[in-house]
Amino acid sequence: MPRALITGITGQDGSYLAEFLLGKGYQVTGLRRRSSTRNLHRIEHLSGLSLVEGDLTDLSSLVRVLEQTQPDEVYNLAAQSFVGSSWQQPLATSDITGLGVLRLLEAIRTVNPRIRFYQASSSEMFGKAQTVPQHEGTPFYPRSPYGVAKLFGHWITVNYRESYGIFACSGILFNHESPRRGLEFVTRKISDGVARIKLGLARQLRLGNLEARRDWGFAGDYVEAMWLMLQQPEPKDYVIATGETHTVREFVELAFAHVGLDWRDHVVVDPALFRPAEVDLLVGDASRARRELGWRPRVDFPTLVAMMVDADLERLRGGHRAGDGPGYGDVPTEGGPAPGGPTDGGPDATGDTGDDGRRMPHRDDAGREGGAPGRGPG
Ligand code: NAP
Ligand code: G4F
């Protein structure tokens, strides 16, 4: 049975990738960092998943986890992934999102250089895009501390492949969304806001730059591409994208129209939510992935918008108002983790003995930003 280690297991992509690999018969371990509050809501429906404690800022924890779990494949999805926060916390972002990749590669080099490594790189590295569409050969021009940190992670992955022969791939993924997306990202902020307004729980949705264009796909489709990269005869870098671009305004229009509302009655543009430097246009050319991996996206843009709004309506009708409740396709686990669900096991057990039987309200994060003076995290 092949063994995989996923960092960033509590995040959106970690949950979809774990589901995917468990379905393929992998023995999957997720690396989670210590948290003072419970944050397993995206993975508590998964049975057969093991959890270990570690942190991308702590090399010794990464070495220990690799020694204990002996994975064949490592998927590095952990990051400070919110672009807006990277201006508020540039050093922490660089440490986790940039240097964290190097620490993991050093751990792999030390423990077992035959491990296959996937790095979650980002279209944010293209930033002020030098070609349209963007492909593997497009020059990078990052526009945020996050983008700069991801660029370091990308190049150190390439460098360890070329220096030490490690099977290391950098997946340059364009934006991918789902009902499990964090509430601070614009698509989920919109779907949550639309659902609240439709249900009479809110009247307004405050947003920043509506003219930014993104290539938005469905996260469930994108994790398959991560796995495919590590099954190839040679390690390479791949752009993963839909090839379509839409403005934030289009997302807003479709989301409100889906519930029979006119967005102009509810959306307030708040200059405090504009970013210090914006990425205006992203659209990817995933021809290499199509040709060499046989990968293509399945969920189109209108379906994605409808899926996210419907999931938030369902969640809010179910009374989960504080944050990320069960998402699309999830099995709600009101009484705690699924039988045989994630286990904090082994010598690295986190000491977290499981749910107390109540679903705790999840963090009420930047889904409804505003009020802060000056330029906010957007
Ligand atoms: P996400 O939901 O924000 O998840 C990030 C994960 O990283 C969380 O599990 C988080 O744990 C973990 N993490 C943060 N700091 C850590 C640390 N110091 N040590 C260990 N774990 C840490 O992000 P996502 O959307 O799933 O994205 C997955 C990866 O793909 C990220 O690297 C992101 O930058 C990259 N990416 C995403 C997209 C996209 O559109 N989603 C596009 C391109 C690239 P906590 O729960 O403890 O915070
Ligand atoms: O949803 P966003 O915060 O995502 P962004 O910045 O594109 O980053 C995401 O995708 C990257 C891949 O390209 C990932 F690497 C990264 O980890 C993350 O997953 O913002 C999208 C756009 C931006 O142009 C932003 O200015 O939406 C605009 N926007 C307008 N109003 C807003 C808002 N963004 C947020 N978060 N909140 C707003 O109110």
Residues β-bridged to residue 227: none
Cα 104 to Cα 116: distance, rounded to the nearest angstrom: 12
- pTM (2 d.p.): 0.91
Cα radius of gyration (the chain): 20
Cα 215 to Cα 175: distance, rounded to the nearest angstrom: 6
Instruction: Report CA-CA distances (Å) from 252 to 187, 191, 309, 375.
Output: 8, 8, 11, 22
Q: What is the pLDDT of residues 85-119, one digit of tens each?
A: 999 999 999 999 999 999 999 999 999 999 999 99
Other residues' Cβ atoms within 10 Å of the Cβ of residue 316 = 17
Burial of 245 (0-12, 13-18, 19+ CB in 10 A): buried
- Marked catalytic residue, from 16, 26, 75, 146: 146
Q: Nearest Cα to 121, choosing from 251, 262, 13?
A: 13
Cα 29 to Cα 14: distance, rounded to the nearest angstrom: 11
Cα 250 to Cα 270: distance, rounded to the nearest angstrom: 18
Q: What is the pLDDT of residues 269-323, one digit of tens each?
A: 999 999 999 999 999 999 999 999 999 999 999 999 999 999 999 999 998 755 4
Q: What is the pLDDT of residues 192-206, one digit of tens each?
A: 999 999 999 999 999
Cα 366 to Cα 182: distance, rounded to the nearest angstrom: 9
- Marked catalytic residue, from 44, 53, 124, 253: 124
Other residues' Cβ atoms within 10 Å of the Cβ of residue 228 = 18
Residues β-bridged to residue 206: 268
Which protein residues touch ligand 1 with a CB less than 6 Å away? 7-14, 33, 35, 39, 55-57, 77-81, 96, 120, 122, 173, 175-176, 182
Supply the residue whose CA is at minimum distance from atom 7 of ligand 2: 175
Q: Are strands 267-269 and 205-207 parallel, antiparallel or unpaired?
A: parallel
Contact, 327 vs 311, CB < 8 A?
Answer: yes
